Structure 1
Amino acid sequence: MSVLVTGGAGYIGSHMVLGLVDRGEDVVVLDNFTTGFDWLISPAATVVTGDIADGELVGRIVKEHAVDAIVHFAGSVVVPDSVRDPLGYYFNNTAKTRDLIETAVRHGVPNFIFSSTAAVYGEAGTEPVSEDSRLEPLSPYGRSKLMSEMMLADAAAAHPLSYAALRYFNVAGADPQGRTGQSTRGATHLIKVANETAIGKRAAIEIFGTDYDTPDGTAVRDYIHVTDLIGAHLAALDHLRRGAGNLVANVGYSRGFSVRQVLDVVREVSGVDFAIRESGRRAGDSPSVVANSTKLRQTVGWVPKHDDLPEIVRHALDWEKHLLKRNAG
């Protein structure tokens, strides 16, 4: 049996591949390499270039590699971009996910793990946010993910398919062993952008919105180390394989940091007093989103190991320095 990882050449996907390989799983990566990098993928994985909406290709992979689980990361992830190009996001994130689910059902893949997001909550009105909070996404990105969750639930009700939809909060950091990390050009993730500024790749970093109803006026987020996120996926995979039922769960640490607090930590860890500029709010951004992760902890026994913002920043900074040397060479 093997696991098919879509988007396995990307930031989170490449970490998932490592997590599976490290515990002895056979892994197949399917990626179209629009934003991913082949050098991020563990050499122990089989790599196929292609699109998740290509049912013939995905079906062949499932058959040839005896795939018993699909872990689906492929998609577009930038909230402001989704506001500018909503139809592109509905096509790439929703329509193609629909095709992938159909292929999984047609070929009898029993387990499906979906990369969802805290953006499905929008301004939930409660903190920390639990899975039964109001679902009112503020952006096409969040709605595209919520639609995919709905399709999965309906497909699982009609067919022998078990699924887990994991709603991520703000993923950051890099593999502690330095094997992979966030490498996307022009990334918008706060910790990555701040670290790029600290090492001189950017002249300054912008704070988008300083008038939110938060302690210091900047947006508050729950930052989770990517390695802990992968631990949640592995636990969810084990949960599905033992027939324990479908799962919709938040993945976060249940405590938030403001943008200013994060930038202070990056300055401290890097030792660089980099320039900060203030701008207006971005469309689709929530003032504060912090996870209630009790369900995940209790249901699958997930125990985070890297719940420490300076450690997250340090691992991300180490990766940025690695990229700087790699690109220079």
Structure 2
Amino acid sequence: MTKAFAARGAEVVVVDRNPPPADDERVSTIIGDLNDPEVRLSVITEGTAGVIHCAAITSVLQSAGMPAETYQANVANTAELLELCRKHSVPRFLLASTNAVVGDVGEKTITADMPLAPLTPYGATKAAGEMLLSGYAGAYGITASALRLTNVYGPGMKHKDSFVPRLMRAALSGDTVRIHGDGRQRRDLVYLDDVVAGVLRVWDSGFTGRAILGSGRSISVLEMVETARRVTGRLLPSEHIPAPRGEMPAVVVDLSASERELGYHPTVSFAEGLAAVWQDFLHDELHADRRDSPELDSVIARS
């Protein structure tokens, strides 16, 4: 995301708890937590063209175990950022949201106009964020977009706790993959590059309201595991465990409105995207081995 905007010549400022993996002179990074008022004040100033707010607690399981922290990260911080945008006349705000705001709709296809009915703290906080966004748009004229993302995956997600990085870690270590329930529950997984392309289209068009950004194809957890076995060439043994509360049987999204209004057309298949993620994990593993090995360090120093 940051690279895409920087490549256009935009002055990009990122807030992150951790330093970026590589320096980019076109991107300024503020190392800090959005819970800190000073961090928020340092990033939103007069002349800011817009905010793309992706910071959140995104794990459904984590949110169930820490609802107060999830509220602070996903609702309170969003409210504080919107208020700073109002005070500094920032004209545009894009919020990374989720289709979990509509709750469990069974096998129905999810559209952007479905009523809000979240079943988890994560879904509820994202629904609250959307309502705040709508309120600030209506009262103060902020160009506001709620982007309901499906399961986003791609390089750079080694630290995440979602299913794709868990598959990759298991492939590296030989550990067993835990599958909730029978594994037939379906999810829409969208590759990072497709999401970035969608965000750019939202930004360029001045789109307001809700938009679903996904791949448009839902696959079962069992299919994900089989694809990971083919891509990695690893055995990936698996075991089935009880599904937690709030586990949706399917996430099937309708992209027709996003295609029509934004010209959004995802292009990366799950197998292609997963292969890129696997290479990213292998690369990190190789460099970790080099850092841990005195012999390899000395070779690097001589080269």
Residue in 1 that maps onto 2:125: 144
Structure with higher RCO (Cα < 8 A, 6+ apart): 1
Contact 1:198 1:270 in 2 (8 A): yes
Question: What is the root-mean-square deviation in Å for CA atoms of aligned residues?
Answer: 1.8
Please list, as runs of the form range in 1=range in 2, the aligned pairs for 1:122-137 lying within 5 A after superposition: 122-125=103-106, 127-137=108-118
2:218 aligned with 1:246: no
1:89 pairs with 2:51: no
Q: Provide the rounded CA distance (Å) in 1 between the counterparts of 2:151 and 2:172.
A: 22
Cα distance in 2 for partners of 1:18, 1:206 equals 35
Shift of 1:63: 3.1
Secondary structure of the residue aligned to 1:322 is helix
For 1:58-77, what aligned pairs fall within 5 Å after superposition?
A: 58-63=40-45, 66-77=47-58
Contact 1:124 1:133 in 2 (8 A): no
Aligned counterpart, 1:232: 198
Per-residue CA distance 1:142-181 (angstroms, 9 max, x = gap)? 100000000010111000211111001111122xxxxxx2
Provide, for residues 186-243 of structure 1, a one-character-per-residue CA deviation record: whole Å limited to 9, x for no partner. Answer: x32212211221122x511100111xxxxxx521000100110111111111122xxx
Determine the structure 1 residue equivalent to 2:294: none
Q: In 2, are the aligned partners of 1:270 and 1:317 still within 8 Å (CA)? A: yes
Contact 1:122-1:137 within 8 A present in 2 as well: yes
Amino acid at match of 1:209: G
Shift of 1:99: 0.7
Paired residues of 1:55 and 1:103 also in contact (CA < 8 A): no
Q: What amino acid is the match of 1:106?
A: K
* Stretch deviating more after TM superposition (97-106 or 297-306): 297-306
Partner of 1:44: 26
Asked if residue 267 in structure 1 is aligned to residue 229 in structure 2, the reply is: yes
> What is aligned with 2:288?
327
User: How far off is 1:134 after superposition?
Assistant: 3.2
Per-residue CA distance 1:75-114 (angstroms, 9 max, x = gap): 1111011111111111111011111110111110000000
1:154 alignment partner in structure 2: 135
Matched, 1:18 2:14: no
- What is the aligned length? 290
Evaluate the alpha carbon distance shift between residue 128 and residue 42 of structure 1 in structure 2; reply closer, same or farther with a 3 A threshold: farther
Matches within 5 A, 1:237-316: 237-240=203-206, 245-306=207-268, 308-316=269-277
Q: Does the 8 A contact of 2:106 with 2:250 survive in 1?
A: no
Structure 2 counterpart of 1:193, one-letter code:
R
Which residue of structure 1 lines up, in the alignment, with residue 186 of structure 2? 220
What secondary structure sits across from 1:312 in the alignment?
A: helix
Superposed, 1:165-244 pairs within 5 Å as 165-174=146-155, 181-184=156-159, 187-200=160-173, 203-210=175-182, 218-240=184-206
Q: Distance in 2 between matches of 1:182 and 1:197?
A: 14
Instruction: Rate the CA distance shift 1:40–1:281 in 2: closer, same or farther, 3 A.
Output: farther
Q: Gaps spanning 5+ residues in structure 2: where?
A: 292-303
Partner of 1:213: none
Query: Larger Cα Rg: Structure 1 or Structure 2?
Result: 2
Percent of matched pairs sharing the same residue: 27
Distance 2:242 2:180 in 1: 5
For residues 41 and 74 of structure 1, the distance between their equivalents in structure 2, rounded to whole angstroms, comes to 20
Secondary structure of 2:97's aligned partner:
strand
2: distance between equivalents of 1:43 and 1:191? 31
> Could you tell me how far apart the structure 1 residues matched to 2:45 and 2:147 are?
26
Match for 2:228: what amino acid?
V
Residues 19 and 127 (structure 1), Cα distance of their counterparts in 2 relative to 1, 3 Å cut: farther
Decide whether the 8 Å contact of 1:52 with 1:99 is kept in 2. no
Read off the aligned partner of 2:115 and give its amino acid letter.
Answer: R
Q: After TM superposition, give the deviation of residue 23 of structure 1 in Å.
A: 2.7
Matches of 1:263 and 1:41 in 2, distance apart?
Answer: 34
CA distance in 1, matches of 2:283, 2:254: 34
Normalising by structure 2, report the TM-score.
Answer: 0.90
- Name the one with the larger helix percent: 2
Deviation at 1:30, TM superposition (A): 1.5
Question: CA offsets per residue over residues 281-309 of structure 1, 9 Å max, x none?
Answer: 02222110111111111111112231x11
